[in-house]
Every structure is written in structure tokens, then in C-alpha cells.
Amino acid sequence: MEISDEILQSVPLHLRQTEMSYVGALKISHSTVHNLKRRGRLRTHTACNKPALSSDHKVARLRWILSHINPFTGNQDPTFVDMRNVIHYDEKWFYLNPDKRRFYLLPSEEGPYMAVQSRRFKLKAMFMAIIGMPLYGIDGEMLHDGKYGIFPFTVQQLAQKSSKKRPRGILETKALQNINREVIRLMLLTKVIPAIKSKWPESLAKDVVIQWDNARPHQVPRDAEFIEATTTNGFNIQFIFQPAQSPDLNVLDLGLFRSIQSLQYQFFPKDLDELVQKVKDSYDTFDPEVNKYIWVTLQNCMIKILKAKGGNKYKIPHMNKKKLENIGILPEIVVVQKEVVVEAVEYLNTMFRPANQGNEEVTEELEVDAD
């Protein structure tokens, strides 16, 4: 039975979300749809909500990416700047268990039983993670894995009442639910900055840049204690804000959190203490090779954003990084086509040029940023 592409596309998208509704609208059998997928006539696609971007967001994303490209002259294609001194920072909620789990069982096996007290109020904890680029030597040996730590927002306090799990007066772990500016400052002072100083590679300069998003609690403290912590022992730790609505410009949101969560869901923690330990174990066992791949993906996403004029309507690029790694041609710093950069700069020039100037020169500030 031959079905044309016009007939397949004539079904509205809201009737193409399940195979049942699709075959019902086409009035065909399920086996016909399976054959169409097997022959490549149909494909499955998962659509996810992406952050809504205004024109200001798109301009900010373009300017951010252009600032991360080395200056170039002539016909030579430019490259991204060296990011080995950059550390990405973000927070994420980790839950005790997912709503659904998939198992492979024998026909005679009984399905695992999962039960929770409330589907709305789930046991969870927020973690702060920091990650940098892995550092390799001339011979390819790994000098630093880029991992500086993952830290839970939890406190130890005395139990006020007795329960079947523990007696009254014993120390128990509680997850903080209100992560405000002061909590972030304390975490930076007691966990993040000491971890960076103790694990920072000796071969790199101590000018450290921490990139984080524009969440409301993310305010750089200006008190004397914090300034001293970021400038002692020869360090110069600075904080920069990535563009708003841009999780695709942070390696944690781009792939590392998903990798850690998939590892954490392989276990079955029973309480908050086990959840914290399993998340830390997942972070520690996270493959540094995958970390290197995510930083390469970040640079390729930047190229996609340039081509999309600052938008986020693009597919995460795949370049067979494992295969390129095996043959020794995986780039640590990605090359950008000169035409892509020039086109993005011309688009910004159009956005900033006053209407009465036509094709005249743009403002000096934008020219400096484009350079």
C-alpha cells in the first residue's frame, strides 16, 4: 500500500502524537505505520519546551558568543577563545525517585512495587555543581578531570519528635527549600571557592572565571570577607553572568546534569542521606571524556546560535565525537567559519543601525564588540 507524503502530512499535528490516533486518522493498520517507519518514511520526534526569547535576548546571545571568538584577519577562519580558566556553575533539584522506571523482566517475574506518600510533595534536594574543562598534556594524558565538586543544600538538625525511623533528639539531614542570596553566599565561601583553590591545576594561571545564570539569588557579594576569599593565595576569581534564557550556553544544563541524573536513577535510595551520597557518587564516577565532549558540544551550539541569529530553534549538533577521538582529530577548540561570524556581525549592525543612516557605519561600541 503506497501512501504519498501529502496524505501523511495532511493529518494535523495534534493527531500525530500517538500511533493510535495517527492510524485512526489515516484509516490504516498499525503494521503499515511500522513499515513506513522501517523504510524511513516516518520518524519519531520528541518536542520540548524551550525558553522564550525576545529580540533583546537574541542580541545578547549573539554579542556573548562573538565575545568568545578570537579576532581574525584575512581569510583565516577564527576559533573560540581558550576556556580552560572558565568554570560553569549551576543548581539543580535531584529527586529521590523518578515517577516511572523501565525494567526488563521475565514473563514469570512480578513487576517491582513503587509507592510514595505524596505525588505532589516529593523528597528532593538541591545541589550546586561546578565543572571546568578537562586538562590534557602533550602526550594526551589527563592532567585534570575538570571536576571541582557537587554540594547539597542540606543541614543537620536535631529531630523534634520520635518516629518509627529514628528516635527524638538524633541528628537528621534536612534539605533546604528556600535557596536565597545569603545561602548562596555561604555555599560559595565554605564549599565552592575552597574546592576551586584546592583542585585548581598548577599549570594554569590563577585568573578564574565562574559563569552562572541570572537567577535572583545569584548576586556577587561585595563584602570584605568574600573579596578576600576570591583574591588570596594569588587567585583572582571573577563572576560573569551568561545571557538570560540561555541554558544552552552552560555545560551543566547542556548535558552534565542529565548524565549525573541518569547515573543516580540507577540506584534506589531510601532516604535523603542516601540520595545525597548517590548524587555525589554519580558526580565522581562521571566520565571526564564525556565532560570533554560536552565542552565541544557547547562550542558547536554557539555556532548554531550564530546561524540562528541568536535564536534557539536548532538541533543539538552531533559530530561523532567518539569516532573523532579514536582517530585523534577531535578538536579541543572548535573552528568557526568566517562567513558565519561576518553574517552575525552584519545582522547586529542592522539591528543597531538607526533608520535614517541607511548603510552607514554603526556605532563604535558595536564595532569594537564585533572585532
Cα 119 → chain centroid: 27
User: Tell me, what's the pLDDT at 355?
Assistant: 46
Lowest mean pLDDT among 37-41, 85-89, 326-330, 332-336: 326-330
User: Tell me, what's the pLDDT at 101?
Assistant: 87
Q: How many helices (H) and strands (E) does the chain have?
A: 14, 9
pLDDT digits over 282-321, tens only? Answer: 999 999 889 999 999 999 999 999 999 999 999 888 888 8
What angle, 0 to 180 degrees and rounded to 10, lies between the N-to-C axes of helices 338-352 and 288-307?
Answer: 50
CB distance 331 to 296 below 8 Å: yes
Residue 354: pLDDT band (50, 70, 90) is low
Residue 368: pLDDT band (50, 70, 90) is very low
pLDDT digits over 219-265, tens only? Answer: 999 999 999 999 999 999 999 999 999 999 999 999 899 999 998 98
pLDDT digits over 14-53, tens only? Answer: 999 999 999 999 999 999 999 999 999 999 888 888 999 9
pLDDT for 85 beyond 80: yes
What are the grid coordinates assigned to 109, written together?
A: 517475574
What is the average per-residue pLDDT within 55-59? 94
CATH 3.30.420.10 fits 79-286, yes or no: yes
Query: What is the average pLDDT score of the chain?
Result: 89
pLDDT for 167 beyond 90: no
What are the grid coordinates assigned to 13, written together?
A: 499535528
User: Tell me, what's the pLDDT at 221?
Assistant: 92
Nearest CA among 72, 65, 81 for reference residue 338: 72
270 or 190: which leads in pLDDT: 190
Residue 359: pLDDT band (50, 70, 90) is very low
Query: Using CA atoms, how far apart are residues 137 and 256, in angstroms rounded to an integer?
Result: 23
CB distance 172 to 157 below 8 Å: yes
Query: CB count, 10 Å around CB of 163?
Result: 9
What is the average per-residue pLDDT within 206-213? 96
User: Tell me, what's the pLDDT at 72?
Assistant: 82
Q: Which residues pair with 126 in a beta bridge?
A: 93
Query: Using CA atoms, how far apart are residues 353 and 360, in angstroms rounded to an integer?
Result: 8
CB distance 142 to 288 below 8 Å: yes
User: Tell me, what's the pLDDT at 99?
Assistant: 84
Assign 3-class secondary structure to 197-244.
Answer: HHHCCCCCCCEEEEEECCCCCCCCCCCHHHHHHHHHHHCEEEEEECCC
Taking every pair of Cα atoms in the chain, the longest distance, rounded to a whole number of angstroms, is 78
Pairing assessment for the beta strands 236-241 and 207-212 based on DSSP bridges: parallel
pLDDT for 370 beyond 70: no
Lowest mean pLDDT among 115-124, 147-156, 336-345: 115-124
Cα 292 → chain centroid: 13
What is the average per-residue pLDDT within 267-285? 92
Lowest mean pLDDT among 20-24, 69-73, 274-278, 297-301: 69-73
Helix (H) or strand (E) holding 171: strand 171-175
What is the average per-residue pLDDT within 336-359? 79
pLDDT digits over 119-131, tens only? Answer: 778 889 999 999 9
Provide the residue ranges of all domains of the chain, joining segments of one domain with +: 5-38, 79-286
For the four alpha carbons of 200, 202, 203 and 204, in that order, the dihedral sign comes to: positive
Report the share of the chain in percent with pLDDT over 90: 63
User: Tell me, what's the pLDDT at 357?
Assistant: 52
For 313, residues 6+ apart whose C-beta sits below 8 A from its C-beta are: 50
Query: CB count, 10 Å around CB of 211?
Result: 19
